[in-house]
């Protein structure tokens, strides 16, 4: 059988330090994020969507939606080591460690493809109908959860890779997050201007919180503070809600065209990546949130991934007429 991947020659893709490419942002001593490296992705064009990490192997998985490919980046060696081809607008990616499986969700045909976690050999798939999108890994329960279609969450058993549950929603889910403390799932429904709360065991909807702003795509759960963070696009704003009842706690302006949001628990910070060409860094103190820095990236660079185990923020930059697609590696300071 011919599998849909090919090896990328090591000589064709390399890491370039930012000092050699002044078109990319330069860090200053006052920045809270230091640009450490730029990892070139090679011949990749169009929109880049979500990313995931295989922590054991220190590999970043990059969904290259506009290129119909997924790249595997060795973060220790700073280079692309493999590219999976033959996909159909890959949006979501997730690595599940117990089964050593990479899951790839495709927008164009609604399929979720499975790949072996080391070799990336194709290992089957499942059809969800349409617009398979975000993937979340519930490692404790050995489940894989995928948002898809006009409104649904599909729950797969990671060992059998079979669908074991379906959660109906009133609109297409964008970012959703699992709360391991309560077993609940919080789901952004931007087309319904709502955040819904779902029981992770039964799949029943527990609550629906109306949102007074539009474009609630990005979301993160702060388990230490029992808070839900949501970033809106219209107008661009970071809002903080109590996870108990959805009561708004704080709100602060953010950069435009946001797509990802992460919490740095070690430093009490929040990272927001935006297509406007910035990463906004907020510091938290009790119920207060304050933007402490706005770090330049590149226009369209709205997808990111924060890996606490590596202490690095990774930002995907799409190709332009003068610059290739790349991953910017930021080291938080101090």
CB 216 within 8 A of CB 225: no
pLDDT digits (tens, 9 = 90+) for 222-251: 999 999 999 999 999 999 999 999 999 999
pLDDT digits (tens, 9 = 90+) for 249-278: 999 999 999 999 999 999 999 999 999 999
Cα separation of 197 and 210, whole Å? 11
What percent of the chain stands above pLDDT 70?
Answer: 91
Convert the chain into a string of H (helix), E (strand) and C (coil).
Answer: CCCCEEECCHHHCCEECHHHCCCCCCCCCCCCEEEEEEEEEECCCCCCCCEEEECCCCEEEEEEHHHCEEEEEECCCCEEEEEECCCCCEEEEEEECCCCEEEEEECCCCEEEEEECCCCCEEEEEECCCCCCCEEEECCCCEEEEEECCCEEEEEECCCCCEEEEEECCCCCCCEEEECCCCEEEEEEHHHCEEEEEECCCCCEEEEEECCCECCCEEEEECCCCEEEEEEEECEEEEEEECCCCCEEEEEECCCCEEEEEEECCCCEEEEEECCCEEEEEEEECCEEEEEEEEECCCCCCEEEEECCCCEEEEEECCCCCCCEEEEEEEECC
Of the candidates 293, 242, 241, 243, the one whose C-alpha atom is nearest the C-alpha of residue 264 is 293
Query: What's the mean pLDDT in 171-190?
Result: 97
What does pTM read for this prediction?
Answer: 0.92
pLDDT of residue 316: 98
pLDDT band at 19 (very low <50, low <70, confident <90, very high): very low
Query: Which one-letter DSSP state was computed for residue 118?
Result: T
Fold type of domain 31-332: Methylamine Dehydrogenase; Chain H (2.130.10)
pLDDT band at 123 (very low <50, low <70, confident <90, very high): very high
CA dihedral over 233, 234, 239, 243, signed as positive or negative:
negative
CB 199 within 8 A of CB 250: no
Cα separation of 43 and 61, whole Å? 16
What would the two tokens of residue 239 be?
A: 């809002």
Q: Cα torsion for 254, 259, 265, 268, to the nearest 10°?
A: -10
Q: What are the residues facing 53 on neighbouring strands? A: 60
CB 99 within 8 A of CB 159: yes
pLDDT band at 31 (very low <50, low <70, confident <90, very high): confident
Mean pLDDT for all residues in the chain: 92
pLDDT of residue 27: 52
Query: What's the mean pLDDT in 28-46?
Result: 89
């Amino acid at each position: 059988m011919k599998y849909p991947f090919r090896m990328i020659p090591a000589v064709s893709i390399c890491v370039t330090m930012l000092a050699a490419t002044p078109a990319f942002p330069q860090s200053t001593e006052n920045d809270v994020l230091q640009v450490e490296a730029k990892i070139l992705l090679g011949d990749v064009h169009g929109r880049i969507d979500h990313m995931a990490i295989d922590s054991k192997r220190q590999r970043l998985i990059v969904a290259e939606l506009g290129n119909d490919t997924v790249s595997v980046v060795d973060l220790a060696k700073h280079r692309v080591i493999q590219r999976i081809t033959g996909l159909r607008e890959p949006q979501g990616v997730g690595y599940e460690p117990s089964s050593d499986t990479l899951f790839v969700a495709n927008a164009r045909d609604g399929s979720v493809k499975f790949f072996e976690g080391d070799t990336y050999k194709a290992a089957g798939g499942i059809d969800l109908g349409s617009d398979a999108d975000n993937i979340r890994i519930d490692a404790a329960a050995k489940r894989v959860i995928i948002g898809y279609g006009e409104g649904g969450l599909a729950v797969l058993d990671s060992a059998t890779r079979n669908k074991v549950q379906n959660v109906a929603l009133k609109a297409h889910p964008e970012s959703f997050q699992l709360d391991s403390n309560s077993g609940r799932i919080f789901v952004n429904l931007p087309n319904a201007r709502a955040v819904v709360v779902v029981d992770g065991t039964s799949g029943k909807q527990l609550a629906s919180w109306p949102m007074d702003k539009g474009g609630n795509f990005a979301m993160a759960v702060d388990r230490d503070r029992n808070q839900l963070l949501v970033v809106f696009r219209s107008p661009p704003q970071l809002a903080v809600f109590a996870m108990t009842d959805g009561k708004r706690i704080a709100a602060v302006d953010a950069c435009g065209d946001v797509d990802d949001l992460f919490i740095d628990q070690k430093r009490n910070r929040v990272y927001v990546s935006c297509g406007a060409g910035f990463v906004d860094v907020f510091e938290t103190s009790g119920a207060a949130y304050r933007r402490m820095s706005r770090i330049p990236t590149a226009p369209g660079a709205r997808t990111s991934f924060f890996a606490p185990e590596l202490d690095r923020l990774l930002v995907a930059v799409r190709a332009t007429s003068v610059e290739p697609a790349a991953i910017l590696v930021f080291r938080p300071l101090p």
